[in-house]
Structure 1
Amino acid sequence: MKFLYQLFLAFNSTWLIVVVFLVKEKYKFNILDEYSTYYSWIIFAIIPIILTGLSFLIAINLPKDTLRNSSVKEIELANNNFLPTYLGYFFVSLGINDISTLIVVFTIIYIFTFLSQTLYFNPIFLLFGYHFYFIKTSGNVKIFLITRKQLKKPGENSFEKLRRINNYTFIEL
């Protein structure tokens, strides 16, 4: 289950490349309406939001873990660290001129995202109220934490409902 979830998270993290390309190229569903282009764009944007929401339901099946407040040594907000990456994705998708190139570029980025398996940053998590943190533990291990909590001081919060995505990435449901 964990492997499938990692595949799904990597997909969700990179799918916005396709959305930007489809909007740029003015792709649309054949809806008999003068506004079909705009309806299509809304559908293109809603698909990754629905898939991200589904990822929270799937995460319930991941292995459980905890992180005691006494083991949190440092907290660093990571929300903004990924903005350059996503801007890069958007600029790449704006430069793609055809579907075959999109497929190749998306596949390469998807494979690298999946194989890195260290972080599964998805900006749509922000819409669901989640935040991203780098946490350094008392054992000097740096982990990536996805949580709705607003973390400010080490040792203030404990995390009893974590799900382990991999050895360095956790999500609190």
Structure 2
Amino acid sequence: MKYLYQLFLAFNSTWLIAVVFLVKEKYVFSFIEKFSMYYSWVIFILIPIILTVLSFLIAMKLPKDNLQRNSVMEIELANNNFLPTYLGYFFVSLGVSDIPTLIVVFLIIYIFTFLSQTLYFNPIFLLFGYHFYFVKTSASIKIFLITKRKLKTPGNDNFNNLRRINDYTFIEL
């Protein structure tokens, strides 16, 4: 289950490349040709949002883990660290001129995102109130934590409802 979830998160993290491309190219779903292209755009945008909601449901099946009080030594907000990456994705998708090129670019970025398996930053999580943190533990291990909490002071919080995505990435549901 964990492996499938990692594949799914990598897909969700990179899918916005396709959304930007489809909007740029003014693609329209054939089953709504009678309607404005804006309906297709809304659907394009809703797809990653729905997939993100699904990822929260799937995360419930991941292995449980925790971080005890005083095990967090350092907290660093990571929300803004990924902005350059996503701007790069958007510029790449704006520069792609056709579907075959989009597929190749998407697959390359998807494979690298999946193989890195250290971070699964999905900007749609921000819409649901989640924040991203780099947390250094008392064992000097730096982990990536996805949580709705606003963390400020190391050592003050228990994290009893974590789900382990991989050895260095956790989500708190």
- When normalised by structure 1's length, the TM-score is 0.98
CA distance in 1, matches of 2:60, 2:153: 27
Quote the residue 2:97 is aligned against.
97
Quote the residue 1:80 is aligned against.
80
What value does the CA root-mean-square deviation take over the aligned residues?
A: 0.7
CA distance in 2, matches of 1:91, 1:3: 30
Number of equivalences: 172
What is the CA-CA distance between 1:29 and the residue it aligns to?
1.2
Query: In structure 1, the residue corresponding to 2:165 is in which secondary structure?
Result: strand
Quote the residue 1:108 is aligned against.
108
In the alignment, residue 72 of structure 2 is paired with which amino acid? V
Query: In structure 1, the residue corresponding to 2:70 is in which secondary structure?
Result: helix
CA distance in 2, matches of 1:3, 1:163: 13
Quote the residue 1:68 is aligned against.
68
What is the CA-CA distance between 1:104 and the residue it aligns to?
0.3
CA distance in 2, matches of 1:57, 1:148: 15
What is the CA-CA distance between 1:33 and the residue it aligns to?
3.0
Mapping of 1:15-164 within 5 angstroms? 15-30=15-30, 31-35=32-36, 37-164=37-164
CA distance in 2, matches of 1:156, 1:102: 46
CA distance in 2, matches of 1:43, 1:69: 43
Gaps of 5+ in 2: none
- When normalised by structure 2's length, the TM-score is 0.98
Q: Does 1:5 align with 2:2?
A: no
In the alignment, residue 136 of structure 1 is paired with which amino acid? K
Gaps of 5+ in 1: none
